[in-house]
Structure 1
Amino acid sequence: MKILVTGAAGFIGMHTAERLLARGDTVVGLDNLNAYYDQNLKEARLARLETSPDFRFVRLDVSDRAGIEALFASERFDRVVHLAAQAGVRHSLQNPHVYVDSNLVGFVNILEGCRHSQVGHLVYASSSSVYGGNTKMPFSESDGVDHPVSLYAATKKANELMAHTYSHLYGLPTTGLRFFTVYGPWGRPDMALFLFTKAILEGRPIDVFNQGRMKRDFTYIDDIVEGVIRTLDRVAEPCPDFDPAQPDPGRSSAPFRLFNIGNSRPVELMDLIAAIEKATGIAARKNLLPLQAGDVVNTYADTDRLDNLLGYTPQTDIDTGVGRFVEWYRRYYRV
């Protein structure tokens, strides 16, 4: 198939594109290469993809309406994996308009492109952050998600609603994937694992928010990509037993669905730090700080729906995943 992967220079985008290329698909990778974090890292990811003759890169911002229209009209994609977005909960507190441009305007441009060129399936990145202030654990796709605690989370919730509208009005099959704290080699420099590893190897203290009393459902990148590929290949269909009198937010009478992709084994922040200490052989010095605005205390994925439909559940444990990340980090940065 010919598949568009947006955010191809990103962490999840690069790994997803690599998997698609390895199985023989043609991939058009789109990215704007913005300066939110180290552009050299993004360029290095792209360089890996550009070794394949079946990969072509397009530098374009998803908020560029005319550019996206032209791309879809000329390429006629079979499937779309939409991973481009302005990421980061904390960044959204200071830069709200960037999230509107990328995550809302950009998403409707992708939806319109898919609609007008009869794309067979759109798989897009949502986020565990949509669960916001929910305290019922584990988080299920059937739970209401009407209390986001950051603008980033609100834009991801909006994406799900927008996708449902296009599934309902135009029959566009859409699958939203709520990722839970993705980590691994080539990961983002603004994420805790990267920040902690860098500081520990440089002999600096690390900032530990909420005094370390937080849990995250850390999910290894290979497990995330496996979920993306499996859902991409299983085109969304209307739910035959959807009940509009008691609507399930994760299902629909339209070809629309939502899945959690998480490890289903929440890890204490202090246990993540212990795994980094084990992998580096260095004890961390910790600055214990209050909870930051926009952060949630715990995340925990119920992945029964993913397992029931696809026979798949993420498996990689934190020590294994962190060990692989630290190995990559030392090799890439030569430390």
Structure 2
Amino acid sequence: MQSAGSRHHGKKVLISGSAGFIGGYVVEELLAKGYSVVGVDNFSKYGKVAKSYDNNPNYELIEGDCRDVDLLTRLLEDCDHFIAGAAMIGGISYFHTYAYDLLATNERIIAASCDAAIAAHKSGGLGKVTFLSSSMVFESTPEWPSYEGQERSVPPPLSSYGFQKLAVEYFARAAWDQYKLPYTIVRPFNCVGIGESRALGDQEILSGNVKLAMSHVVPDLVQKVLKGQDPLHILGSGDQVRHYTYGGDLARGVVIAMEHPDALNEDFNLSTAQSTTVLELAGAIWKKVKGTDVPLRVVSDEPFEYDVQRRVPAIDKARQVLGFEATTSLDEMLDEVIPWIAQAVENGTI
């Protein structure tokens, strides 16, 4: 059988944080392209979540801690690629609840990941590490759009999460400088999709009459509208600008960046070109759930300290070098996400 995947026969990828939100989409994309995939995750965020590909013969899931250098070194022995995605991560409420843990845990994860990758590359098998960074490296920028390289000329991020993601990029470059470990850095912007549950450690924060079920804005607003909140509570003015990017598009970008010869030792923003304010997002969700007969009323709650007002990426480099564009519209994303969250609300998981 000649399939799209057959050209990758025998190529093996280790992905850390494979049970995470973006990780799940990346595993799906890799399997669709015919890779053999090993995932490693300690299920610290969501607990064990069943995935559609769990029984795929080309997928193996290892329950383990990505701070364990010996484990990662052993898993990388026969891998061609390593996608380093494991991190303690969450949206805005996470940054405040776990300010120290985000920094300490994620530093240990990235150091262990690099130690293992350096050893695996030295012994000959591992070709490259693709590091998952974040749009938060641009947290303190005074100008937009944020372009690749700007993260080293603007003030450093104020949140410990953003600062640590910037450190991930320094780890990648330092491992190349000293050990010639090849790398690519990718920065996803505001991932939207299905598969995000209530995080096990999420603090219950009351937002109007409904608890913030999740720390990301799209699922949070969807569940509040579904639960009948009116007026709808949003954090801050609603003028915050984001680029909501579909998880499937991001995964495609990550895998293209992993494979592409011109991505070697380069960094890429992965994002939709579309800017959307939180108010526009709320309006789109409201219309899809309530129709046009019920007018949207909003109440502004006190925003979090690190609620960046604008997050707007330059996307030219990914388009020109990788041929990557995120094509899924917000409308299409909401058509997928709303029924999924409605089901989760019904099941009591959100």
- Which TM-score bucket, shorter chain as reference? 0.7 to 0.9
- Structure 1 residue 306 corresponds to structure 2 residue 332: no
Residues 149, 295 of structure 1: 8 Å contact kept: no
Show the counterpart of 1:4.
Answer: 14
SS of the residue corresponding to residue 285 of structure 2 reads helix
SS of the residue corresponding to residue 17 of structure 1 reads helix
- Structure 1 residue 178 corresponds to structure 2 residue 187: yes
- Give the drift of 1:131: 0.6
SS of the residue corresponding to residue 314 of structure 2 reads coil
Aligned pair partner of 1:44 in 22, 44, 50: 50
Residues in 2 aligned to 1:316 and 1:109: alpha-carbon distance in whole angstroms: 35
Q: Structure 2 matches for 1:81-230, cutoff 5 A? A: 81-88=83-90, 89-118=92-121, 119-143=126-150, 144-187=153-196, 189-204=214-229, 206-230=232-256
Moved more, 189-198 or 5-14: 189-198
TM-score, normalisation: structure 1: 0.86
Q: What stretches of structure 1 of length at least 5 have no aligned partner?
A: 238-254
Residues 63, 101 of structure 1: 8 Å contact kept: no
SS of the residue corresponding to residue 90 of structure 1 reads helix
- Give the drift of 1:121: 1.3
- Give the drift of 1:135: 2.3
Structural RMSD (CA): 2.0
- Give the drift of 1:76: 2.1
- Give the drift of 1:334: 4.6
TM-score, normalisation: structure 2: 0.83
Residues 173, 236 of structure 1: 8 Å contact kept: no
Aligned pair partner of 1:317 in 299, 304, 329: 329
Show the counterpart of 1:247.
Answer: none
Residues 93, 215 of structure 2: 8 Å contact kept: no
Aligned residue pairs, count? 310
Residues 207, 288 of structure 1: 8 Å contact kept: yes
Q: What stretches of structure 2 of length at least 5 have no aligned partner?
A: 1-10, 198-213
Residues 262, 322 of structure 2: 8 Å contact kept: no
The percent of aligned pairs where both chains have the same amino acid is 25
SS of the residue corresponding to residue 328 of structure 1 reads helix
Q: Deviations over 1:119-167 (max 9, x none)?
A: 2111111111111121211110131243202100000000001100111
Residues in 1 aligned to 2:85 and 2:149: alpha-carbon distance in whole angstroms: 23
Change (3 A) 1:129 1:157: same
Q: Deviations over 1:189-239 (max 9, x none)?
A: 4211111111111113543122212111111112101101110111466xx
- Give the drift of 1:105: 1.1
- Structure 1 residue 54 corresponds to structure 2 residue 58: yes
